[in-house]
Amino acid sequence: MASLKELTQRPELLSPGHRMCAGCGAPVAIRQILKAVEGPVVIGCATGCLEVATTIYPFTAWRASFIHSAFENSAATISGVEAAYRALLRKGKAPEGYRFIAMGGDGGTYDIGFQSLSGAMERGHRMVYVCYDNEAYMNTGIQRSSATPRWADTTTSPAGRVVPGKPVHRKDLTAIMAAHHIPYVAQASPSHWNDLFTKAQRALNADGPAFLNVLAPCPRGWRTDPAESIEMARLAVETCYWPLFEVVEGKYRITFRPKEKRPLVDWLKPQGRFKHLFTPERKHLLDDLQQRVDRDWEELEWLSRAAR
């Protein structure tokens, strides 16, 4: 467990003045993760909200070696840098201690960059991949991604009289990464900063690939109050929509259990992208979402018990 005082004294690798939207969850999560870095680090970031807003020419908000990758190849880029570094180490031409982090939003991770990510994990590079999951292609106009929840209203899954939003459930990317049998996989939220910091430390110290999936509320895409972003992340955890857990060498462990599991509507109702669901004739859609969350939480509980 880290102390808040200790963390405030660590260097900031993502500086203030980065031009991300007010209330964006991504820079909050990334700052928390980067607090776990000790020593030199190389960071790669796919095209997306985080890259575009932090590297507006001729400025940069990054206080570390930074590489802007294309939308689809952040993992491939950093895996190549890590491989080159190992080659230099073998020849005695590079110092020990470097760490490597690739980043991408859900569009550049769940979808466009999935092949690159899967390949890097399978090859066994010692690197951490961080997905800041804001649940749509926010940078290009709030289009649905495979991380977008079912029935959400986006510009490419608009809620209408016939089709009430995105018709299919989101992809469970965290489980897919665990299925790669890599040393460390975790799901986290910026609302639970100590949990996220601890998981970032474990990911950085893993002897091989590691993957962090971090919820990053987007006030524009979710249509929420920018001042409530961390509360929205907390509600996602407390309703078990976004459970906090880790998978260490294939064994699941829940890292936070709500004292009282809140109903999913507590998380859905403040979001404009779900407002069309709150009519009597669409109550069954809310029930569908709650049943899915309940089923997934029960499955996670079973996996955690089985690992003991």
**According to the model, what pLDDT value does residue 211 have?**
98
- Give the global pTM: 0.96
Domains of the chain: 4-306 (3.40.50.970)
**According to the model, what pLDDT value does residue 5 have?**
82
CA–CA distances in Å: residue 272 to residues 49, 131, 150, 157, 172: 20, 24, 14, 14, 23
Cβ atoms < 10 Å from Cβ of 290: 16
pLDDT digits (tens, 9 = 90+) for 235-280: 999 999 999 999 999 999 999 999 999 999 999 999 999 999 999 9
Residue 8 has pLDDT above 90, yes or no: no
CA 114 to chain centre: 14
Residue 21 to residue 220: CA distance in whole angstroms: 9
Question: Residue 244: in which H helix or E strand, if any?
Answer: strand 244-248
pLDDT bracket for residue 3 (50, 70, 90): confident
pLDDT bracket for residue 1 (50, 70, 90): low
Residue 247 to residue 303: CA distance in whole angstroms: 10
pLDDT digits (tens, 9 = 90+) for 28-78: 999 999 999 999 999 999 999 999 999 999 999 999 999 999 999 999 999
Let me know: does 178 contact 185? Beta carbons within 8 Å. Answer: yes
**According to the model, what pLDDT value does residue 21 have?**
96
Tokens describing residue 274? 């779900």
Q: Nearest-CA neighbor of 211 among 242, 174, 171?
A: 174
Residue 105 has pLDDT above 80, yes or no: yes
Q: Nearest-CA neighbor of 63 among 14, 126, 112?
A: 14
Residue 297 has pLDDT above 90, yes or no: yes
pLDDT digits (tens, 9 = 90+) for 177-219: 999 999 999 999 999 999 999 999 999 999 999 999 999 999 9
DSSP alpha helices (H): ranges in the chain?
4-8, 25-34, 49-54, 74-90, 106, 114-123, 173-178, 193-205, 219-222, 229-238, 265-268, 283-306
pLDDT digits (tens, 9 = 90+) for 150-172: 999 999 999 999 999 999 999 99
Tokens describing residue 40? 């030199």
Residue 272 to residue 43: CA distance in whole angstroms: 34
Mean pLDDT to the nearest integer, 103-108: 98
